[in-house]
Amino acid sequence: MSLQDDYKNLTDELLTLLDQLEIDLNNKSAALDTGVFQKGCKLVNDLVELLEKNGSGLDILESEVAEFDINIPDEKFDRFLQRETRFLQQLKLNPKHIMKVIEALGSTDRDARPYRLNGKEVLKYLRELRELFSQIDDLTRNKKWKISKDLVMACAGGGWQVVVIAGDVAGFIVGTTTFAAGALIAAGSIGEGLRGLVKKISKIKGLYSEEVARYQHSILKTKKGTFRIKKRDSK
């Protein structure tokens, strides 16, 4: 299997998981699959392992644009998104998914400062998201705690930014556009996706801390109730 196939398969799996998560969120009577964060953690880990390899695509892309500060002014961002749409069409993704990726890129307040692609920084935040998914998996699947819809939606938002990163590395590898243009589009999009991911991670951390506090409070209440019952029974 080629590296291109590895990225395509991983992207498809991420999209399938995000599709199912969207269905569960929209269906109020459906219970959230308790294994969703375990799957998400595995897929982010798979992406990290791919990107860490020599010749992963990310390292090649970084070397190609090493001397460039990527700057996408607000007034030219719509044009950039049009180019990104055509770039992702190389992967033969479902048009609905391409639209979702474009929405993810434009979903947060932009930081229009110039960006220089840094592979280590990309990996750092992907690992951080992986760890958060692992912690939430422990809370939901092992401790049987039902988390808030807001936290699930924040995690889904982080998942779409991961798709941006994976999809653009894959698009760069496919390379049906000119090499230089493809490198600049991919680097620009990964920069936007990474900035979006950092914001989502911050939101996930805050919401996760609230959930842990609620869980610990519920355990404390349960222990106090048990103590009172035992104390009454002993009289």
Which two tokens mark 71? 């700057």
In this prediction, residue 1 has a pLDDT band, given cuts at 50, 70 and 90, of: low
Q: Model confidence over 69-114: pLDDT tens digits?
A: 888 888 889 999 999 998 888 888 899 999 999 998 887 677 778 8
Q: Model confidence over 3-25: pLDDT tens digits?
A: 888 988 899 999 999 998 888 88
Residue 10, pLDDT score = 93
Domain segments of the chain as ranges? 3-27+34-210
How far is C-alpha 51 from the geometric centre of its chain's CA atoms?
Answer: 15
Average pLDDT over the chain, rounded to an integer: 87
- Provide, rounded to the nearest whole percent, the portion of the chain with pLDDT above 90: 54
SS3 assignment for 20-51: HHHHHHHCCCCCCCCCHHHHHHHHHHHHHHHH
3-state secondary structure of 1: coil
Q: Which residue has the higher pLDDT, 70 or 33?
A: 70
How large is the average pLDDT for residues 108-127? Answer: 88
Cβ pair 10, 47 in contact under 8 A = yes
How large is the average pLDDT for residues 53-60? Answer: 89
In this prediction, residue 229 has a pLDDT band, given cuts at 50, 70 and 90, of: very low
With a cut of 90, say whether residue 133 has pLDDT above it: yes
Residue 232, pLDDT score = 46
Q: Which segments within 132-222 are labelled E, that is strand? A: none
Q: Model confidence over 167-207: pLDDT tens digits?
A: 999 888 876 556 677 888 999 999 999 999 999 999 999 99
Instruction: Evaluate if pTM is beyond 0.85.
Output: yes
In this prediction, residue 219 has a pLDDT band, given cuts at 50, 70 and 90, of: confident
- Provide, rounded to the nearest whole percent, the portion of the chain with pLDDT above 70: 89
CA nearest to 136, candidates 159, 120, 112? 159
Residue 54, pLDDT score = 87
In this prediction, residue 231 has a pLDDT band, given cuts at 50, 70 and 90, of: very low
